[in-house]
């Protein structure tokens, strides 16, 4: 069997397969002999059925099986011998009919991982911006802490307002019976309940956003009747010693708390700035190291991303088209960046030790309240250790890009 691989562009490979007639004939007769020992033909002893009868009954099936086996074998060998990594399933180019006594030829097309030619990855310009922490920032954060530590107190002598917590009897149209529900009142999803008294019935439209705190209501809309049974308001905590004690022994007064808040905000902004620098680095890598990708590769990646967030079978053709169009630019850039980072890591000989892998898995296990050793063994069994290694290598590579970048501080 002869296999010749041609490059059609940066990603597509055309695999030409040629099998001489003598190999075809030898393989065919071998399969026919093997078949004769397995099937029972009425009127003949086991394994003694005439060849012409076997061929009349099974020739088409045998030739079909031979064709599939030859194509799969040739494809796998060509991929392995040429160190190719397929990104989409292979396709047969045209029809190939195997005929005993004749040479067999076929062509398989497959899109593979592209060859990467590095252009620019050191000395790329990046911009770092870290806003200074102001007194207003600290004051706002302190108020947020006081609100979070607040308590709910019953409301009396007034009507409901935005921000109240209402315990309501909620009866959607068409529902058999009302349900009792706590709603956080706002001017959008629960506006029908704003400005009414306890025990007062209202009818209205309730449209809850996807990020509404109550998951059972989030993303749903109702026409319903409702009555407020109880009404409470959130009262912020007092800035007293009891409140200060929640932040540790070193926080002895308001000044110490404000200092801690200032440091937390500064660290958070530094972290956000670092994330933004890495994001910029990825964008620059993609723009400065373009890679030609085929539509098949792009579409398969887009569908893979889409299926991670949506049930495709529940979407209309128009919705699928729109989502694909929105996902396409970022998907292409992400693929290019991944390919470029992998090539840079090879050039720069970036490696990861087993200890680093175990440390990363331990961090993940701790965050998910799991035993590190158990998670390591499980992921090793599932073949996920290489994914962890690749993630760490990618992080180290981006660090190298940032360390060698020209960063403009603003």
pLDDT tens string, the chain, 410 residues long: the values are 899 999 998 999 999 999 999 998 888 888 887 777 777 777 666 666 677 777 777 788 888 888 998 999 999 999 999 999 999 999 998 888 888 888 999 999 999 999 999 999 999 999 999 999 999 999 999 999 999 999 999 998 899 999 999 999 999 998 889 999 999 999 989 999 999 999 999 999 999 988 888 888 888 999 999 999 999 999 999 999 999 999 998 999 999 999 999 999 999 999 999 999 999 999 999 999 999 999 999 999 999 999 988 888 888 999 999 999 999 999 999 999 999 999 999 999 999 999 999 999 999 999 999 999 999 999 999 999 999 999 999 999 999 999 999 999 98
Rounded Cα distance between 288 and 311, Å, is: 35
Residue 200 structure tokens: 């007062």
Q: Would residue 130 count as lying in a domain?
A: no
Residue 91 near residue 77, CB atoms below 8 Å: no
Query: How many other CB atoms are there within 10 angstroms of residue 393's CB atom?
Result: 19
Whether residue 97 sits in one domain with residue 203: no
Read off the CATH number of the domain in which 70 is found.
Answer: 3.30.70.1050
pTM: 0.77
Q: What is the b/e burial string over 206-243, where b = at least 16 CB atoms within 10 angstroms of the residue's CB? A: bebeeebeeeebeeeebebbbbbeebebeeeeeeeeeb
Whether residue 264 sits in one domain with residue 170: no
Report pLDDT for 168: 95
Domain boundary among 59, 88, 111: 111
Residue 364 near residue 385, CB atoms below 8 Å: no
Q: Would residue 118 count as lying in a domain?
A: no
Residue 191 near residue 206, CB atoms below 8 Å: no
Instruction: Return the H-helix or E-strand segment holding 6.
Output: strand 2-8
Whether residue 324 sits in one domain with residue 299: yes
Residue 152 near residue 164, CB atoms below 8 Å: no
Report pLDDT for 47: 64
Q: Would residue 243 count as lying in a domain?
A: no
Q: Would residue 183 count as lying in a domain?
A: yes
Whether residue 207 sits in one domain with residue 304: no
Whether residue 259 sits in one domain with residue 217: no
Whether residue 159 sits in one domain with residue 103: no
Q: Would residue 133 count as lying in a domain?
A: no
Read off the CATH number of the domain in which 211 is found.
Answer: 3.10.50.40
Domain boundary among 170, 201, 235: 235
Report pLDDT for 100: 87
Of 271, 240, 270, 233, nearest in space to 257 by CA: 240
Report pLDDT for 312: 87
Report pLDDT for 50: 72
Whether residue 255 sits in one domain with residue 343: yes
Length of the chain: 410
Whether residue 397 sits in one domain with residue 351: yes
Report pLDDT for 43: 64
**How many structural domains does the chain have?**
3
Whether residue 352 sits in one domain with residue 203: no
Report pLDDT for 404: 96
Is the alpha carbon torsion for 74, 75, 77, 78 positive or negative? positive
Range of the domain at 398: 251-409
Whether residue 383 sits in one domain with residue 265: yes
Q: By three-state DSSP, how is residue 235 classified? A: strand
Read off the CATH number of the domain in which 336 is found.
Answer: 1.10.3120.10
Residue 208 structure tokens: 């809850």
Residue 329 structure tokens: 């630019």
Report pLDDT for 255: 95
Q: What is the b/e burial string over 10-49, where b = at least 16 CB atoms within 10 angstroms of the residue's CB? A: bbbbebbbebeeeebeebbeebbeebbeeeeeeeeeeeeb
Domain boundary among 49, 84, 111: 111
Q: Would residue 353 count as lying in a domain?
A: yes
Rounded Cα distance between 336 and 327, Å, is: 14
Burial of 405 (0-12, 13-18, 19+ CB in 10 A): buried
Of 372, 354, 355, nearest in space to 363 by CA: 372
Whether residue 82 sits in one domain with residue 162: no
Rounded Cα distance between 337 and 118, Å, is: 11
Q: Would residue 48 count as lying in a domain?
A: yes
End-to-end CA distance of the chain: 64
Residue 147 structure tokens: 């609100």
Q: Would residue 142 count as lying in a domain?
A: no
Rounded Cα distance between 96 and 209, Å, is: 55
Report pLDDT for 101: 86
Whether residue 306 sits in one domain with residue 400: yes
């Amino acid at each position: 069997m002869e296999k010749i691989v041609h490059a059609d562009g940066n990603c597509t490979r055309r695999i030409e397969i040629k099998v001489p007639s003598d190999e075809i004939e030898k393989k065919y007769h071998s399969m026919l002999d093997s078949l004769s020992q397995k099937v029972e033909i009425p009127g003949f002893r086991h394994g003694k059925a005439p060849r012409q009868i076997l061929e009349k009954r099974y020739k088409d099936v045998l030739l079909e099986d031979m064709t599939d086996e030859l194509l799969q074998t040739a494809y796998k060998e060509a991929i392995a011998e040429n160190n190719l990594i397929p990104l989409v399933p292979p396709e047969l180019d045209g029809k190939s009919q195997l005929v005993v006594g004749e040479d067999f030829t076929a062509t398989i097309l497959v899109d593979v991982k592209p060859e990467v030619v590095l252009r620019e990855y050191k000395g790329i310009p990046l911009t770092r911006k870290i806003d200074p922490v102001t007194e207003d920032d600290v004051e706002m954060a302190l108020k947020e802490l006081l609100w979070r530590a607040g308590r709910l107190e019953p409301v009396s002598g007034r009507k409901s307002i935005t921000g109240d917590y209402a315990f309501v009897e909620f009866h959607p149209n068409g529902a058999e019976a009302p349900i009792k529900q706590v709603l956080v009142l706002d001017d959008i999803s629960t506006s029908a309940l704003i400005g009414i008294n306890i025990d007062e019935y209202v009818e209205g439209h309730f449209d809850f956003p996807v990020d509404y705190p109550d998951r059972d209501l989030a993303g749903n809309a109702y026409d319903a009747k409702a009555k407020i049974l109880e009404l409470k308001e959130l009262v912020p905590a007092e800035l007293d010693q009891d409140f200060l004690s929640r932040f540790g022994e070193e926080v002895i007064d308001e000044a110490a708390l404000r200092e801690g808040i200032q440091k937390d905000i500064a660290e958070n902004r530094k972290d956000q700035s670092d994330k933004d620098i890495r994001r910029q680095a990825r964008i620059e890598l993609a723009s400065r190291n373009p890679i030609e990708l085929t539509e098949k590769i792009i579409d398969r990646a887009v569908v893979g991303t889409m299926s991670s967030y949506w049930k495709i079978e529940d979407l209309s053709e128009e919705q699928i088209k729109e989502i694909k169009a929105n996902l396409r630019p970022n998907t292409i850039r992400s693929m290019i960046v991944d390919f470029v980072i992998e090539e840079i890591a090879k050039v720069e000989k970036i490696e990861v030790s087993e200890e680093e892998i175990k440390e990363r898995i331990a961090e993940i296990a701790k965050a998910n309240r799991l035993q590190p050793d158990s998670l390591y063994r499980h992921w090793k069994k599932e073949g996920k250790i290489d994914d962890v290694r690749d993630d760490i290598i990618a992080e180290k590579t981006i660090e190298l890009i940032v360390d060698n970048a020209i960063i403009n501080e603003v």
